[in-house]
Amino acid sequence: MPRRNVPPDRTRTPVTSPAAKRPLVALEGVSKTYLNGTVALSGVDLAIRRPEFLSLLGPSGCGKSTILRLIAGLGDLTTGRIEWPRATHDHRGRPQRDLGFVFQEPTLMPWRTVFGNVYLPFRLKGVSKREAAPRIMAALERVGLAAFAGAYPRELSGGMKMRVSIARALVTQPSVLLMDEPFAALDEITRHRLNDDLLALWAGQDWTVVFVTHSVYESVYLSDRIIVMAPRPGRIVADIAVDAPYPRGEAFRTSALYNECCRQVSAALRDAMAGHEHEE
């Protein structure tokens, strides 16, 4: 049974130090209004922990992708602030964001091979191809593209291009991975496999995933915490913890617990949309 505002019981080493208890990222009173007057977000307060698999769930226009971009520093806040309490800072006092980002569309360099595209984060850090190669191939293996390391983006299907983008974001194992509906364009079988691969990689590392999705079913399967959002303006209306143990698999997808979790999350989403329609 999912519980609201209560973190799930997880099989991890207890964290006791005051520093470790601080959130990884904290959004405080965050609002975003675009130049055309559209209010994308209003008064968002959100503490993102480490480790955590957090999904942002809601209809189009509720500000899910905007939150990701603001966390990544790809835009300015209108009001509020975003803090990285556990991050190191540069000489100007700015937090050094240790993150990877998977966008809705693949952002591949057409003149580089699959291997070359996944190598890019290492290249920017000055790591040689030879040193990075084992991790690159391991990432490609996880997304089912090891045999296509020498291929170019023009030789790949749309789903394969997205998997390259996912591998590139995962390859450096960042402390926070921002994922903006990365699996939406993939077939169901591939999507389920990549869900499982992502959970397997996340379970073995001390990191956080912030995952945007429109799917109640995907959010419940992946997450230990789901933030339900309503639109116009974008705001948080429910914070639901999924009290189901990891690892998860097909047995969880077909369980009564999974169905009950989906029912409660769906009800929260319906309430959010009903409130929005009432306001209009």
pTM of the full structure: 0.84
* pLDDT digits 0-9 by tens, 40-79: 999 999 999 988 999 999 988 899 999 999 999 999 999 9
Query: How far apart are the C-alpha atoms of 272 and 59, rounded to whole Å?
Result: 10
3-state secondary structure (DSSP) of residue 83: strand
End-to-end Cα distance, the chain = 33
Residue 144 has pLDDT above 90, yes or no: no
pLDDT tens for 224-250 read 999 999 988 999 999 999 999 999 999
| CA atoms within 13 Å, Cβ hemisphere of 229 | 32
Please state the length of the chain.
280
> What mean pLDDT is reported for the chain?
86
- Report the pLDDT value the prediction gives residue 9, as an integer from 0 to 100: 40
